[in-house]
Amino acid sequence: MFNVEAFQEALVLVFSFNTLMWLAIGVFIGVGVGAMPGLTATTGVALMLPLTFTLSQAAGLGLLIGLYKGAIYGGSISAISFATPGTSEAAATVFDGHKMMQRGQGKKALLMALYASVTADFLSDVITIMVAPMLALIALQFGPSERFWLMVLAVCLLGALSGAHLAKGMLSAALGLYIGTMGPDPISSVARNTFDLWWLADGVHLVPLVVGIFAMGAMLEKAVELMRESRRAQVLKDSVKGLFSVGGEGLTFREYLSCWKEMAIGLGVGTFVGMLPGLGSTVGAFMSYGIAKQVSPEKRIGTGRLEGIAAAEAGNNATVGPTLVPLLAFGIPGSAVAALIGAALMLQGATPGPRMFELYPTVVYSLFIILLIGNIFNLGIGRIFAFVYAKLGELPAPLLVPIVMLMAVIGAYAYANNPYDVLMMLVFGLLGYFMRMFKIPEAPLVITFLLAPPAEENLRRGLLINEGDWIAALFHSPLAIGLALGVVVLTWLSSRVRIMERMQAVSREAQDG
């Protein structure tokens, strides 16, 4: 039910100078993070998470959501300028964007990427605002058994959809579940899995974990790559001076409207993909690009066409809002960034979930308003600074790596002024590096780390209600039985699909040989 008083309070909070300033800062940093190869939206949000502890809820949300939106778009800048996508989400943009750059149409390509990104992002945010409350009403009918199986289903979906191999996705999810059980259990507060280390008595803190896994892990990988270089070589980038000329070829409104079909495809695919835990914006971009290419073969997408840029950028940016839907409706993060935003809310006292609309309506309305006006900031800042940020692709890695590492150490220590948090961050940084080296996805680990405590709490609560009867606790209702069957079916289908893919790959290799 719409709460007018809470909505008015949210308007006052969001349209304050402090919140708008941090939203602008978030978008500004995000576009730069996205434009720098090696840094991702997840890395940027993880590094900024400790800063949100000193901000109000609205300002903290503005910083993180602004950074998220800016980074997803920012990856297209280096993808178009240098054929080096700043983020994996922008990899599909390279196919058409860089070809246009080589033809002297770089300004037109960058503007198409910006407008397609903002258009799809805004419309998907509207869909998010409409869908999330309805799903939350449904989720309120869930009891402990249903919530437990829903979280198990989310873990299976994450493991199945994240990464090229089912086993690697499930391994990452299992690691997250184990780490999430360290410290006191949610019912009796008895410490478990602490290895008799007193500084683990309260469990693993979220900030050292995410900063280590994402930021430090990525920088260790980059540092090893630098050490493996036998000699220093200056890679000459394509010239982008044409982007700064006043007489450069811009994008006309007619050209923008001519790509409406591709933007619609990106909007539909990206919104759907964003609502599914574990898929993410990279899948949204490539699926949208592939579908647009098949639907309109006469447009020759892939040869340097605006339609290809529009499809890819609409597809990845349309996932930004919808990835928050499972977080708000069920308390299940849809992506690693959604998990970090959920963590920021939890650390400020607003636990994501179906009751959030009832208990914290002002926070929910603030989040929705920030999602919408964040697109305006993304459009303005992207329009002004896109051509300047194109130069960030030339930032040397030997300078970037130590700066980000130092920020990771400061962020981990600033969380609780505890040196052991820095130690944990370094341990998780090594874990993140090895996961990257062996192509094990990191997102399932972080998301299941957040899901482990509520899943265990709901299981224990169900057992208490049913006086220790496991059958009654696990299969309390037809819905719980249906969700349990969904877990079995999803796991079987995932393994079946992977087996078929491997058999087809072996068959192709035999035919080629």
Looking at per-residue pLDDT, the higher value among 92 and 232 belongs to 92
Cα 317 to chain centroid distance, Å, stands at 11
pLDDT at 287 over 80: no
Q: Give the pLDDT confidence score for residue 450 in this predicted structure.
A: 75
pTM of the model: 0.72
| DSSP string for residues in 398-450 | HHHHHHHHHHHHHHHHHHHT-HHHHHHHHHHHHHHHHHHHTT--SHHHHHHHH
Q: Give the pLDDT confidence score for residue 230 in this predicted structure.
A: 44
Point out the least confidently predicted range of 6-10, 123-127, 302-306: 302-306
pLDDT at 218 over 80: no
Q: Give the pLDDT confidence score for residue 510 in this predicted structure.
A: 63
Q: Give the pLDDT confidence score for residue 239 in this predicted structure.
A: 42
High-pLDDT (> 70) share of the chain, %: 84
pLDDT tens-digit map of 56-73: 889 999 999 999 999 888
Q: Give the pLDDT confidence score for residue 12 in this predicted structure.
A: 93
pLDDT at 233 over 50: no
Q: Are 442 and 432 in contact (CB under 8 A)?
A: yes
Q: Give the pLDDT confidence score for residue 242 in this predicted structure.
A: 47
Closest by Cα among 144, 188, 187 to 462 = 144
Q: Are 89 and 74 in contact (CB under 8 A)?
A: no
CA–CA distance, 288 with 294 (Å, rounded to integer)? 10
Q: Give the pLDDT confidence score for residue 503 in this predicted structure.
A: 67
In this prediction, residues 483-490 reach a mean pLDDT of 84
Q: Give the pLDDT confidence score for residue 62 in this predicted structure.
A: 93
Count of CA atoms in the C-beta half-sphere (13 A) of 428: 29
3-state class (DSSP) for residue 181: coil
Domain parsing of the chain, residue ranges: 4-227+238-512
In this prediction, residues 340-355 reach a mean pLDDT of 83
Looking at per-residue pLDDT, the higher value among 98 and 45 belongs to 45
Q: Give the pLDDT confidence score for residue 126 in this predicted structure.
A: 92
Structural tokens at position 120: 């799809």
In this prediction, residues 358-364 reach a mean pLDDT of 88
Q: Give the pLDDT confidence score for residue 88 in this predicted structure.
A: 64
pLDDT tens-digit map of 391-414: 655 566 677 678 778 877 877 777
pLDDT at 40 over 80: no
pLDDT tens-digit map of 268-282: 888 887 887 656 677
pLDDT tens-digit map of 148-197: 887 787 777 665 555 556 778 778 888 988 998 888 887 777 888 888 88
Q: Give the pLDDT confidence score for residue 26 in this predicted structure.
A: 93
Q: Give the pLDDT confidence score for residue 370 in this predicted structure.
A: 94
Backbone angles phi, psi at 448, to 5 degrees: -70, -25
pLDDT at 446 over 90: no
Closest by Cα among 281, 372, 315, 371 to 88 = 281
User: Rg (Cα) of the chain, in Å, rounded?
Assistant: 23
pLDDT at 101 over 90: no
pLDDT at 36 over 90: no
Closest by Cα among 67, 11, 86 to 394 = 86
Backbone angles phi, psi at 165, to 5 degrees: -125, 135
Task: Label residue 373 by pLDDT band (50, 70, 90).
Answer: very high
Closest by Cα among 502, 511, 465 to 187 = 465
Mean pLDDT of the chain: 80
Looking at per-residue pLDDT, the higher value among 413 and 362 belongs to 362
In this prediction, residues 357-369 reach a mean pLDDT of 89
Closest by Cα among 247, 261, 236 to 108 = 247
